[in-house]
Amino acid sequence: MESKYLQKFYDKTPAERITALHAAGLLNEEATAKLHSGLSLPQEIADNMIENQLSTYDLPYGVALNFLIDGKDYIVPMAIEEPSVIAAASAGAKIIAKAGGFRTTIQKRVMIGQVALKNILDSDAAEQLILSHRDEILEAANAAHPSIVKRGGGARRISVRYLAAVPDEGIPAFLVVHLHVETLEAMGANIINTMMEGVIPYLEHLTGGEALMGILTNYATDCLATAECRIPSSLLGRGSLSGDEVRDRLIEAYQFAYVDPYRAVTNNKGIMNGIDAIVLASGNDWRAISAGAHAYASRNGQYRSLTTWKKAENGDLLGSLTLPLPIGAVGGSINFHPAAKMTKEILGYRSASELESIIASVGLAQNFSAIKALVTEGIQKGHMGLHSRSLAISAGAVGKEIEQLSERLKGEKNMNLATAQTLLAQIRG
Ligand code: NDP
């Protein structure tokens, strides 16, 4: 996305950035006006969203630039309090765009709900009974939420899992019935929860067991999204390190996060920096996405990196990220939260699948940038430079003092609150 209006975007004021996006043809008149006047959540809406509501809690809302995904340019809104995340996403996406951009694959969008049955006398017989009555169970589920069926979705399949007892812990056996549901453009938590509670009486009647609960699982293994990139090493050189050396070090960083959970957790936290920020900006449930992502990272029995980085036969760097992304383009607060509506407007996504592609690409860009910094100049140089503004504000700087103090902090060896307070006192002299 080469627009003269977006040059030196970082150096502009927020108002100038909004105007630049408008001038670049990325925001229409209405969206521009809304951004200029702010995206605050009206008190009346907030009061109806949660219980015991008092006020609202603001987060910075910005955009990452340079995303080229499946041949289409995007600027990506993110809501986040942490400095350097948006800068890193934009920088990573810029290199990947030069290499042709991200390619994404969205597997089927099917969500899973569970009913856990206990006190089943003969689990094999109960399983056979359940499977032989699959049509009736699917019918009961669909009858509980007819509107999703009318839209073309609904419960499609059932599967049964036997979870053996753990006598040493006093844990009984469970027979778990999974319902695989197409929730179309919705994430589907409420749709599925309604269905699961709807099938409980029939399952209890059929098996003679007792249902402990019926609920969606956030481990959405039937809703996986993959983003990939292929980067020639000629785009990777940094300082005294050649492109081939940086590529090899990036691959080693992945290998370290593959074998060591201590590293993998932090590696994946970096991925979720970007993913949670866009999931939140889009009005989706970031707790659900985080829980599913971390479980998926442990799918083979050890917590590992969610991304993989390998060398292609011709020496290019190949990056890939796959994770469950059960997000919605409708439902929850997506259609009424002012910032979520703005995110839809800015991204112009036409389906939940398209939003999944964008989110997965953001995660891959974020990981690329983070490990590239880690294996070259280290992360602190860039991070602390950006962190200096937060530190200046924490020290009490206001107005022009923030920029002044932030610049002075960048030259300090010990960039911490005490230094910031001392420098602020000097500035105020
Ligand atoms: P909603 O309850 O808002 O349901 C989505 C609704 O969107 C559908 O019921 C449907 O209405 C309507 N809709 C309009 N167009 C479409 C379309 N094309 N495809 C599908 N639906 C359409 O949201 P979800 O069921 O998606 O649940 C998400 C919410 O649930 C989030 O806020 C989440 O935080 C919360 N939640 C999450 C849990 C978890 O993750 N474990 C647990 C409980 C809640 P209609 O009925 O008219 O067809």
ipTM: 0.96
> What is the whole-number distance in angstroms between the Cα of residue 57 and the centre of ligand 1?
24
Mind listing the pLDDT tens digit for each residue in 314-340?
A: 999 999 999 999 999 999 999 999 999
Taking alpha carbons only, the member of 228, 247, 249 closest to residue 374 is 249
Q: pLDDT at position 411, please?
A: 85
Rounded to whole angstroms, how far apart are CA atoms 360 and 382? 24
Answer yes or no: is the C-beta of 77 below 6 A from any ligand 1 atom: no
Residues shown for the chain? 429
Taking alpha carbons only, the member of 212, 220, 211, 213 closest to residue 187 is 220
Task: Provide the 10 A C-beta neighbour count for residue 397.
Answer: 23
Phi and psi, residue 339, nearest 5°? -75, -35
For residue 321, list its beta bridge partners.
Answer: 227, 307
> What is the whole-number distance in angstroms between the Cα of residue 339 and the centre of ligand 1?
18
Q: Which residue has the tokens 């860009």?
A: 365
Q: pLDDT at position 186, please?
A: 97
Active site residue 383: yes
Active site residue 4: no
For residue 9, list its beta bridge partners.
Answer: none
Pocket test for ligand 1, best of 145, 187, 276 (most atoms within 8 A of CB): 187
For residue 63, list its beta bridge partners.
Answer: 77
Active site residue 82: yes
Is residue 69 within 8 Å of residue 358, measured between CB atoms?
Answer: yes
Mind listing the pLDDT tens digit for each residue in 363-417?
A: 999 999 999 999 998 776 666 777 788 889 999 999 999 989 998 988 888 888 9
Phi and psi, residue 298, nearest 5°? -105, 15
Work out the angle at residue 382's Cα, subtended by the Cα atoms of residues 381 and 384, and round it to the nearest 5 degrees: 70
Answer yes or no: is the C-beta of 327 below 6 A from any ligand 1 atom: no
Active site residue 58: no
Answer yes or no: is the C-beta of 191 below 6 A from any ligand 1 atom: yes
Predicted TM-score (pTM) above 0.90: yes
Answer yes or no: is the C-beta of 198 below 6 A from any ligand 1 atom: no
Is residue 180 within 8 Å of residue 112, measured between CB atoms?
Answer: yes
Q: pLDDT at position 1, please?
A: 64
Q: Which residues of the chain have pLDDT under 50?
A: none
Q: pLDDT at position 415, please?
A: 86
Answer yes or no: is the C-beta of 246 below 6 A from any ligand 1 atom: no
Q: pLDDT at position 289, please?
A: 98
